[in-house]
């Protein structure tokens, strides 16, 4: 997940699934069942130079094995959800298998349940079990409607020149205290912390880790525990003050480059954005002098994930499942994690003895973080209302309580999809 034009993180500011906003009002329509015989199959992926390229790499073998003709349709993130939703809304049925994310909850009711397939899935025992739960996996009406093929959990990295590889920050207060102590001892030009505060859509990832309250109120509206939320925002702002002078304007790439260049003691960010460069001597000055450490609480790591779902309109659902079963394998996931940077959802990747020899400073912690990571119960419009006051608070200051009030004021104008409530409840994010 890079930030250049060819590849973007899942959670971006200001991207609206305009077509999807009407889906909840429509009743689900049933598609054809279809036999397992070969035929045409169209699958959608994000046009990233990664997920879609991985798909294209298995098309030839899949076609030969299944007497099929698979067409990979790739779209930028800004339009992928719109393309999927419009296809479902209009009943066109052009796409049989769709790449979906947590943002697409408003058309989960238009996707085929996969509980039968997943119950007997041959690779289930190799998969990280927590990623099959409601939240990390898209669910509708108590049934899974997708299978995650790419998963990344927000992480914390340390330069072992300044902090031990076995450093553990139990809470964000611990991280702030350690970074504050470093501030007076680090060489000139080295910041205690590097984080992409200039990418407003990244700021909630620190908030999510520092906040252990609800996101949905008892009456089914978006809302926060005001006191806990204000405290989490204050901690987020404290981290910004521990960055370089331009901390508030750093992009993801710029924040990563500071760490890669030895100019930051701690990096907070997406592992799949930085893992490749950290293991590339031509990109990183650190060599083996870095380690990923456990993501602090009391909240949870943010989860970035893509799943494959079958459209309810798919003419051959058996063939559609065969595609998913062929794409989402332990072998593919392990290979693609290190060739494309696609985060593997399989525990077998993180337990591989040979990989552990090479990546002992990374893989065990990544696996543990993935087992805790969850997406927030928000739509894109709700996420936009979430990040704007946060970003303004970081860049302009003011009261964290006022920022929380601004978030809740923005949410009060939006309707929360009912499909989000069971998922939020399953993940302990509804007010008790």
DSSP lists the bridge partners of residue 147 as 308
Could you give the CA distance from residue 260 to residue 326 in angstroms, rounded to a whole number?
36
pLDDT of residue 213: 98
Could you give the CA distance from residue 210 to residue 127 in angstroms, rounded to a whole number?
28
Residue with tokens 């602090």: 296
Contact 75, 47 (CB under 8 A): yes
Residue 135 CA neighbour count, 13 Å, CB half: 24
pLDDT digits (tens, 9 = 90+) for 114-137: 999 999 999 999 999 999 999 999
**173, 211, 168: which is closest to 390 by C-alpha?**
211
Average of pLDDT values for 89-96? 96
Domains and CATH numbers, the chain: 20-152+303-372 (3.40.190.10), 155-293 (3.40.190.10)
CA distances from 272 to 108, 305, 339, 344, 366 (A): 27, 12, 11, 10, 10
**Beta 191-194 vs 264-269: how paired, if at all?**
parallel
User: For residues 430 and 2, which has the higher predicted lDDT (pLDDT)?
Assistant: 430
Residue 66's contacts (CB-CB under 8 Å, 6 or more residues apart) are: 38, 319, 322
Radius of gyration of the chain (CA): 21
pLDDT of residue 16: 37
Angle between the 203-210 and 380-396 helix axes, to the nearest 10 degrees? 90
pLDDT digits (tens, 9 = 90+) for 313-365: 999 999 999 999 999 999 999 999 999 999 999 999 999 999 999 999 999 99
Q: Is 69 helix (H, G, I), strand (E, B) or coil?
A: strand
Q: Is the per-residue pLDDT at 9 higher than 80?
A: no
Structure confidence at residue 33 as a pLDDT band (50, 70, 90): very low
pLDDT digits (tens, 9 = 90+) for 371-397: 999 999 999 999 999 999 999 999 999
Q: What dihedral angle (degrees, nearest 10) is formed by the CA atoms of 272, 278, 282, 287?
A: -170
pLDDT of residue 37: 58
Determine the Cα angle at 288 with ends 283 and 284, to 5°: 10
**147, 148, 150, 169: which is closest to 158 by C-alpha?**
169
Q: What dihedral angle (degrees, nearest 10) is formed by the CA atoms of 53, 58, 64, 65?
A: -150
Backbone phi and psi for residue 33, each to the nearest 5 degrees, phi listed first: -75, -60
* Tokens standing for residue 303: 């989860």
Average of pLDDT values for 184-196? 97
pTM recorded for the entire structure? 0.90
User: What's the sign of the alpha-carbon dihedral 57, 60, 63, 66?
Assistant: negative
């Amino acid at each position: 997940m890079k930030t250049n034009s060819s590849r973007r993180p899942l959670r971006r500011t200001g991207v609206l699934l305009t077509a999807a906003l009407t889906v909840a009002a429509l009743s689900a329509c049933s598609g054809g069942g279809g036999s397992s015989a070969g035929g045409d199959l169209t699958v959608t992926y994000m046009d990233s130079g990664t997920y879609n390229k991985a798909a294209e790499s298995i098309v030839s073998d899949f076609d030969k094995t299944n007497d099929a003709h698979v067409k990979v349709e790739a779209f930028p993130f800004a339009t992928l959800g719109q393309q999927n939703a419009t296809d479902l809304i209009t009943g066109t049925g052009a796409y049989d298998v769709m790449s979906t994310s947590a943002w697409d909850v408003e058309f989960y009711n238009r996707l085929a349940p996969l509980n039968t397939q997943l119950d007997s899935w041959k690779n289930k025992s190799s998969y990280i079990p927590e990623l099959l739960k409601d939240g990390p996996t898209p669910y509708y009406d108590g049934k899974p409607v997708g299978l995650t093929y790419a998963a990344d959990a927000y992480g914390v990295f340390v330069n072992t020149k300044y902090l031990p590889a076995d450093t553990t920050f139990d809470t964000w207060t611990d991280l702030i205290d350690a970074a504050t102590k470093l501030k007076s001892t680090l060489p000139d030009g080295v910041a205690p912390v590097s984080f992409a505060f200039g990418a407003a859509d990244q700021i909630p990832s620190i908030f999510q880790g520092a906040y252990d309250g609800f996101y949905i109120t008892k009456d089914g509206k978006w809302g926060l525990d005001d006191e806990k939320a204000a405290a989490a925002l204050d901690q987020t702002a404290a981290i910004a003050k521990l960055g370089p002078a331009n901390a508030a304007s750093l992009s993801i790439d710029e924040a990563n480059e500071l760490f890669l260049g030895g100019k930051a003691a701690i990096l907070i960010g997406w592992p799949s954005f930085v893992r490749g460069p950290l293991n590339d001597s031509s990109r990183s000055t650190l060599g083996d002098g870095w380690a990923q450490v456990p993501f602090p609480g009391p909240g949870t790591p943010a989860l970035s994930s893509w799943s494959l779902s079958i459209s309810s309109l798919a003419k051959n659902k058996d063939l559609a499942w065969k595609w998913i079963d062929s794409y989402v394998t332990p072998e593919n996931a392990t290979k693609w994690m290190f060739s494309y940077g696609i985060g593997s959802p399989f525990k077998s990747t993180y337990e591989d003895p040979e990989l552990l020899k090479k990546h002992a400073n990374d893989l065990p912690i990544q696996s543990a973080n993935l087992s805790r990571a969850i997406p927030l119960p928000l739509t894109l419009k709700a996420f936009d209302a979430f990040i704007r006051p946060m970003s303004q608070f970081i860049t302009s200051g003011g009261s964290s309580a006022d920022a929380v009030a601004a978030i809740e004021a923005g949410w009060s104008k939006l309707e929360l999809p009912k499909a989000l409530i069971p998922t939020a409840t399953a993940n302990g994010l509804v007010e008790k």
